[in-house]
Amino acid sequence: MNTALDNRPIVMPPRHGSTARRVVAGMLLPVITAAIAVVGLRVPVSAPFPAAAAVAFGLVLVGALSAAVLGRAPERVPQWQVTLGPLAAAVALTASRIGDEATGGQHRAARAVATLAVLFLVAVWVHLLLALPDGQLAGRSRQAGTVLAYAGAAATGIALTIAGRPLAAGAVALIWPLATACALPAVRLRYLAAAGRDRERMQWMSVGAVLAADCALVVVVLHVLVDWPGPVAAATAGCAIFLPLGMIAGEVRGLGPAGGRVLVQVLSVAGFTIVVAAIYLVIVFGIGTPPHDSGDRAVLGLSMVAAAVAAIGYLPARDRLVASATRFVYGAKEAPDEALRTFGSRLTRAIPMDELLLQLAESLRKTMGLTRAEVYTGAGDVLERAVSVPDAGPRSIVVTARERPIVTRAGVSGSAWASVWLPQLLEGRPHEQLRVAPASHGGELLGLIVVERPAAADSFSEDDDRVLTELARQVGLAFHNAQLDTALQTTLDELRGQAEALRESRARIVASGDAERRRVERNLHDGAQQNLVALAINLRLARDIVADDPAAAAEMLDELGVEVKRTIQELRELAHGIYPPLLADRGLGEALRAAASRSPLAVEVVSEGISRYTPEIEAAVYFCCLEALQNAAKHAPDSRVEVRIWEDSGGLLFSVNDDGPGFDAERARKGHGFVNMADRLGAISGTVRWQSEPGHGAQIHGSIPLA
């Protein structure tokens, strides 16, 4: 199978239905919307053309443009809702203007169309919110909500038409926010479930909606407080321009990833705007008096502008103001919690612990106005002074088992406490102010932070003690992490050493196996094979002379019988070196006793409570004992040897002890015999240990787990 072809994306052929929808939603309906809006603009009316109508028609044209852009977007876009919204608005505005000009039945018909179109626009808005971000109504609840919105709009429009009553602008201003509020929970759920481009589209549409609402709020508050702008309805309606702009921005792939960050900033600005608007409304109408003339309104407007500028400019200036205030209050040194902040930011494995503690001591001395700052470390009974600023050299203090629990549980303590539990800290500074903060973790004392001020200096404050307490906690955690790192590094080094030893052991085993195979081949070729070839030749000679000289043939056959026995013995000895038959038949005890009988030494074999084991275990123990006997025969020819095998604690143990002159165990561990024994036992998770001193014999102990 061609995986390159299998991994290619599957491109579906374009569907005619999809193309038709794009043509209708992206071209036909926007053109119709613009045409209806132009007709409405050209309808002559006797009344002057209001600003609200101009803004509304402008919004309709912008909506038609956005519908043309979004209607030609990919499938996962609410095409129909976006396209039908401006169309309904254009119909409503044009019908309303025609109704203002017409009389009689035409007037009532145009008003009815305008009412139905406005209510239909609200229903389309609800449909758009429920279908975000892909235009699909997933779930029966969303479908039911959409049907209810259209049905409610139709019923309300028909009822108003029958009653002959127009739809008031105030009613629209009330219905629209209520319908939006009802749809917002469903929009929130869709947003949480959306991802990728869908979430980006919803973020940018939310940016447009929040900006529109925020600007409308600002317009209304300004109109209420300072009576500006005059045509508040037109200005408020104009804020809706952010809705289509937000939806268009969501379709620009370059802007998509920035939607989340922009939405966060817009929401924060909107929240700040609501707070400021509420404060002004409460102060002006609740505590003070509203402005009565243009002078009062101008003063109030300027104060609002000043408040907005101050709020915007405070954030960039805040850091500099805080730094200046800190220098004014604390002088040249920094705030007490600066050491806590800087230590937490430097607490990484990239900085060595000694350097980190030195930076901590320097920072403490600078921020707290200290004469000395010290850090002690240690996990045992002795704590060593790791760093001191200024440098005072090394020093040790002893914390006994009786004092350790008290010091570990103590918080930040002073000189009186130190005189009882750590009097060594007061040596050389009997009158200075002292603070001792134990650094512990998990109930274990890992170090101390000791700071010192002159007796005439300011006393340590609660902020100083709080900073020292938190620093001691962080230092204890750092010490604990350092211990874990050290233990982990030690374990890694041990594992690397074991892996290297295992690799070398395996290489030696392979080399030993190859050498053993070559030895067997050589012995067969030089020994048994030559004897068998000679036997074959002698058998042919015997056959040739049996008729002529029977006596000579009989004598030759007797010699051949002796040669056959000798060859059998050679093969048996060769096989005995590979795997003794007696070991396979009778087990370790009998095989070792037989081997001991062939040894030139006086050997005693003791096997206590052993049974049969796997061939690997029995072979490893047998050949290790044989190796030990050979070493004893070589280095202690007149000694007595005891071979002992037993089971204990789930393992098979053996020992070979002799009373010879002994040897240097360290040098012996580098020898070929010890390496062979270690490799044999290591292959089955066993261990071997040699003990010997010159003049005190030798002891070889081995163990193999049986689990």
Is residue 320 in some structural domain? no
Greatest distance between any 2 Cα atoms in the chain: 159
Query: In this predicted structure, what is the pLDDT of residue 526?
Result: 54
Residue 614 sits in a domain whose CATH number is 3.30.565.10
Same domain for 119 and 162, yes or no, is yes
Which of residues 149, 168, 193 is at a domain's end?
193
Phi, psi (degrees; rounded to nearest 5) at 49: -70, 110
Is residue 609 assigned to a domain? Answer: yes
518 pLDDT above the threshold of 60: yes
pLDDT at position 668 is 65
Give the pLDDT confidence of 353-387 residue by residue, as tens digits.
888 888 888 888 888 888 999 999 987 789 999 99
For residue 639, pLDDT over 50 is answered with: yes
Does residue 313 form part of some domain? Answer: no
Structure confidence by residue, pLDDT tens digits, 211-248: 999 999 998 888 888 888 877 877 888 888 898 899 88
pLDDT value for 3? 42
| 128 and 206 co-located in one domain | no
**Burial status of residue 202 (CB atoms within 10 A of its CB: 0-12, 13-18, 19 or more):** buried
| 343 falls within a domain | yes
- How far is CA 178 from its chain centroid? 43
Q: Could you report the per-residue pLDDT of 20-61, keeping only the tens digit for each?
A: 777 888 888 888 988 888 888 888 776 667 777 778 888 888
- The count of domains in the chain is 4
- pLDDT band of residue 322 (cuts 50, 70, 90) is confident
Q: What pLDDT band is residue 198 in, cutting at 50, 70 and 90? A: confident
Q: Does residue 596 share a domain with residue 666?
A: yes
- 115-139: per-residue pLDDT in tens? 999 999 999 999 999 998 888 888 8
Which range marks the domain in which residue 388 is found? Answer: 338-473
Whether residue 178 sits in one domain with residue 206? no
Q: What secondary structure letter does DSSP report for 134? A: T
Residue type, 180: T
Last residue of a domain, one of 473, 488, 514: 473
| CATH code, domain carrying 342 | 3.30.450.40
Q: With 0.75 as the threshold, say if the pTM is over it.
A: no
Residue 413 has pLDDT above 80, yes or no: yes
The pLDDT of residue 10: 38
- pLDDT bin (cut points 50, 70, 90) of residue 332 is very low
Residue 574: what pLDDT? 65
Q: For the residues 184-190, what does the mean pLDDT come to?
A: 91
Which pLDDT score is estimated for 335?
56
Question: Which of these three, 193, 209, 235, is where a domain ends?
Answer: 193
Q: 570 pLDDT band (50/70/90 cuts)?
A: low
DSSP alpha helix (H) spans, 72-139:
79-101, 104-131
Instruction: Clarify whether residues 676 and 617 are in a common domain.
Output: yes
Q: Out of 12-26, 156-170, 252-266, pick the least confident.
A: 12-26
Q: Do residues 663 and 676 both lie within one domain?
A: yes
More confident residue, 513 or 408: 408
75 is a domain residue: yes
Same structural domain, 99 and 210 = no
Residue 575 domain-assigned (yes or no) = no
Q: In this structure, how many other beta carbons lie within 10 angstroms of the beta carbon of residue 61?
A: 17
pLDDT at 560: 79
Average pLDDT, the chain: 82
Question: Which comes out higher in pLDDT, residue 390 or 579?
Answer: 390
Number of Cβ atoms within 10 Å of the Cβ of 533: 10
C-alpha span between 364 and 357 (Å, rounded): 10
Let me know whether 75 and 159 are in one domain.
yes
Classify residue 462: in a domain, yes or no. yes
- Residue 555's alpha-carbon distances to 540, 541, 559, 569, in angstroms, are 14, 12, 6, 22
Q: What's the rounded mean pLDDT across residues 394-404?
A: 89
Looking at the fold, whether 611 and 683 belong to one and the same domain comes out as: yes
Q: Taking residues 320-337, report their average pLDDT.
A: 64
Contacts of residue 444, defined as CB under 8 A and 6 or more positions apart, other chains included, come to: 379, 408, 480
207 touches 252 (CB < 8 A): no
Residue 189 lies in a domain: yes
| 173 and 47 within one domain | yes
Same domain, 434 and 350: yes
Co-location of 220 and 350 in the same domain: no
What percent of the chain is predicted at pLDDT more than 70? 87
